[in-house]
Structure 1
Amino acid sequence: MSEDAAPHAAGAVPTRRTDVAPTPSAPVGRTAGRTADAHASTAVPVTTPDERCRQVLDGMRGRRFESASTVAVCAADGTLVGLVTLERLLAAAADTPVRDVMDAEPPTVTPTTDQEQAAWRAVHRGESALPVVDEAGRFRGLIPPDRLLAVLLAEHDEDVARLGGFLGSSSEARSAALESVGRRLWHRLPWLLLGLVGAFVAAGIVGAFEHQLEEQVLIAFFLPGVVYLADAVGTQTEALVIRGLAAGVSTGRIALREAVTGPLLGVLFATVTFPVVLVLWGDPRVAAAVAVALFAASSIATVVALALPSLLHRLGRDPAFGSGPLATVVQDLLSIVIYFLAASAIVT
């Protein structure tokens, strides 16, 4: 293996000197660089395909590497041509050229490859280290085994936390579950106060339709049902969206199916409600108003439930805390307005 002092020998790529400190391990987590380049180390053994296995092993003795389990095999211009593991070097005959024992088609990633994709690529190919190369194929460093494992553990930790309805790591999930009463109030009270404001607004909206209620009091009988069913439809959609965000499914993949499901549920509610109200209360106009309101409110509730969790997620807020109360307020107010507008147009 060539010395730094004599890089021209055998056309070898220079090996790192013993007095060069290894590249510090990159932190893994939400604040760390999430690309392959952030985890690549240059403090690894490098050799050429024509060098003998004995020379490689002799050149590694007395040197300090961040990881010596895998040797990068590069051409004279720095292009990566293969990888060879320490196990293969030890098992090969002393005079065997490295090219005869190396993996000539190792999996590689670019510096901008996402850290999770890089780690999984190494695992799926059974590699203990993963080389990072630029667009021209020049060697940029190896992601050592400990960093690959750290990335996998960090990604697993994050995925488990997200499945629990949190956007951060599982440590944040544990903190939220065990936090003090004061912190619980701080996290929940603002959203619930928003709901209280919504209740006052809802009272004002109902009061604005006082004349219609005086003319036909039967209208008031069905307001709770319309609000509840629309809210229930929205809650189901919201649960699917939050679950999808936790599992890494984009809102766009859910939106089309839910945008169709909401109106279909509204049609079913209207179809069932119209004859029941007509038979039991004998007023076709009120029955029509309730049916129209159920269809429109269910359709709009789905849109609201799709938009709010996605918006909170984009803003970096946990949708598990905020989207429920906020969506309930918005859906209820819209349902009340829709119902009274339908009643005003059809009944009074």
Structure 2
Amino acid sequence: MIDSDIPIVKVGTPVVEVQTMLSHKANTFHNINYIYVVEKNNILKGIISIKSILSCSNINLKVDNLMEHNLITVNPTTDRERVVYMALSHGIKNMPVVDDENHLMGIISYDNIMRIFNHELESDIFNFGGIFHRVGDEYTSIKSSAWIMIKSRLPWLIIGIIGGTVAASVISTFESLLSKLLVLAAFIPVMVYMSDAAGTQSEALIIRGIALDPKLPIKSYFLRELKVAAVIAVASGIFVYIISIIGWGNPVLSGIIGLSMFFSIIAAVAVATLSPLLFKKIKLDPAVATGPLATILSDIITLAIYFSVALLFFDIFNI
């Protein structure tokens, strides 16, 4: 991944020497988009584009006067997604790799950056679909064996069945409640969908944030997400309250739905935000482990909130 066959010159080298070096050794380098300027002990000080070197008319000029000092670099432990993000967001063709003391180790070439990008994109697509996999031709090709595809897809489906069974048991617990106001059952899909949708949005953002910024301020990020969730929950609760009043004309039903929607969305966002952080802490890939598990947990919590609020309203209004 790290390519060390790159043109490197010392600080203070005249342009003419760099031009001569390139004319004699160009074929020995894997990548010559940039010249890398180092000082003693191979400490990276700057880079110069090949265009700048070849177009420089003052051949006695020192490379120090041409090089770019404000460098974007990564180290060998930088997350792959962050490497891609930094390269694309700053328009960098080749990403210099340095150690903690800024010693130049090599570069990650544009081809490798794009390869990582494609790998991570495939990985995220599969993960959000609940598929265990290793990204590769054997998993993405139409020629993949049936057994490989079964092993990659079945585990989360089994977990989904278990989660669905737990959700069904929650509903059956409140069977007598449903018999008093059957229309409550009609709104279960709405409640579950809204909490899942809000949770998925938060989940995508936190997973991206973790990948791109290892020092993500967790506390402030979580509080911000709760503020956003509260506003979304209030707006959604009011909207569904109005819709249900217009459609069914039952204030108790509308109150149950509106209040449940509010608490369910906040709970779903909290679960979706905290789950990736927990998985990261125990050294599991948040993108792989979070999706289906967070959805199942969110569904169960949503149903528990919905029926608990309904039970509270029934007690208050003696239904």
Q: Structure 1 length as normaliser, TM-score? A: 0.62
SS of alignment partner, residue 233 of structure 2: helix
Shift of the alpha carbon at 1:307?
A: 2.6
Instruction: Provide the rounded CA distance (Å) in 1 between the counterparts of 2:17 and 2:69.
Output: 22
Change (3 A) 1:59 1:270: closer
Identify the residue that residue 99 of structure 1 maps to in structure 2: 62
Which of the numbers 109, 121, 124 marks the counterpart of 1:162? 124
Q: Aligned runs of 1:53-68 on 2, under 5 Å? A: 53-54=16-17, 57=20
Q: Is the 8 A contact 2:203 2:272 kept in 1?
A: yes
Instruction: Provide the rounded CA distance (Å) in 2 between the counterparts of 1:263 and 1:81.
Output: 53
- The amino acid that maps onto 2:163 is L
Q: Is the 8 A contact 1:50 1:99 kept in 2?
A: yes
Change (3 A) 1:169 1:48: farther
Identify the residue that residue 300 of structure 2 maps to in structure 1: 329
Identify the residue that residue 135 of structure 2 maps to in structure 1: 171
Q: Is the 8 A contact 1:42 1:142 kept in 2?
A: no
Change (3 A) 1:80 1:194: closer
Identify the residue that residue 264 of structure 1 maps to in structure 2: 235
Identify the residue that residue 147 of structure 1 maps to in structure 2: 109
Identify the residue that residue 194 of structure 2 maps to in structure 1: 233
State the identity as a percent: 11
- The amino acid that maps onto 2:159 is P
SS of alignment partner, residue 186 of structure 2: helix
Change (3 A) 1:345 1:226: farther
Deviating more after overlay: 166-175 vs 237-246:
166-175
Q: Is the 8 A contact 1:45 1:71 kept in 2?
A: yes
Deviating more after overlay: 158-167 vs 196-205:
158-167
Shift of the alpha carbon at 1:160?
A: 5.5
RMSD between aligned residues: 4.5
Q: Is the 8 A contact 2:12 2:64 kept in 1?
A: no
Identify the residue that residue 197 of structure 1 maps to in structure 2: 166
- The reply to whether residue 184 of structure 1 matches residue 145 of structure 2 is no
- The reply to whether residue 223 of structure 1 matches residue 184 of structure 2 is yes
Change (3 A) 1:332 1:134: closer
Q: Is the 8 A contact 1:245 1:251 kept in 2?
A: no
Which of the numbers 265, 268, 281 marks the counterpart of 1:302? 265
Q: Is the 8 A contact 2:14 2:61 kept in 1?
A: yes
SS of alignment partner, residue 202 of structure 1: helix
Identify the residue that residue 108 of structure 1 maps to in structure 2: 71
Change (3 A) 1:226 1:42: same
- The amino acid that maps onto 2:87 is A
- The amino acid that maps onto 1:191 is G
Shift of the alpha carbon at 1:344?
A: 1.6
Shift of the alpha carbon at 1:174?
A: 8.3
Instruction: Provide the rounded CA distance (Å) in 1 between the counterparts of 2:226 and 2:88.
Output: 29
Q: Is the 8 A contact 2:203 2:276 kept in 1?
A: no
Shift of the alpha carbon at 1:189?
A: 1.1
Query: Comparing both structures, which one devotes a greater share of its residues to helix?
Result: 2
SS of alignment partner, residue 91 of structure 2: helix
- The amino acid that maps onto 1:188 is L
Residue deviations 1:286-324, cap 9 Å, x none? x34323211221111102321333344332244443333
Change (3 A) 1:225 1:46: same
- The reply to whether residue 45 of structure 1 matches residue 8 of structure 2 is yes
Change (3 A) 1:160 1:246: farther
SS of alignment partner, residue 123 of structure 1: coil
SS of alignment partner, residue 185 of structure 1: helix
- The amino acid that maps onto 1:147 is S
Identify the residue that residue 119 of structure 1 maps to in structure 2: 87
Instruction: Provide the rounded CA distance (Å) in 2 between the counterparts of 1:228 and 1:82.
Output: 58
SS of alignment partner, residue 171 of structure 1: coil
Shift of the alpha carbon at 1:342?
A: 0.9
Instruction: Provide the rounded CA distance (Å) in 2 between the counterparts of 1:234 and 1:255.
Output: 14
Q: Is the 8 A contact 2:6 2:35 kept in 1?
A: no
Shift of the alpha carbon at 1:220?
A: 2.7
Residue deviations 1:252-298, cap 9 Å, x none? 665433322222332333345457655xxxxxxxx343232112211
Q: Structure 2 length as normaliser, TM-score? A: 0.66
Shift of the alpha carbon at 1:102?
A: 5.7
Q: Is the 8 A contact 2:11 2:64 kept in 1?
A: no
- The amino acid that maps onto 2:312 is L
Residue deviations 1:64-106, cap 9 Å, x none? 965573443455697756544556656667x922417962334
Unaligned runs of 5+ in 2: 211-220, 280-285
The aligned length equals 288
- The amino acid that maps onto 1:153 is R
Report which of the two structures shows the higher radius of gyration computed on alpha carbons: 1
- The reply to whether residue 72 of structure 1 matches residue 40 of structure 2 is no
Unaligned runs of 5+ in 1: 1-24, 27-38, 279-286
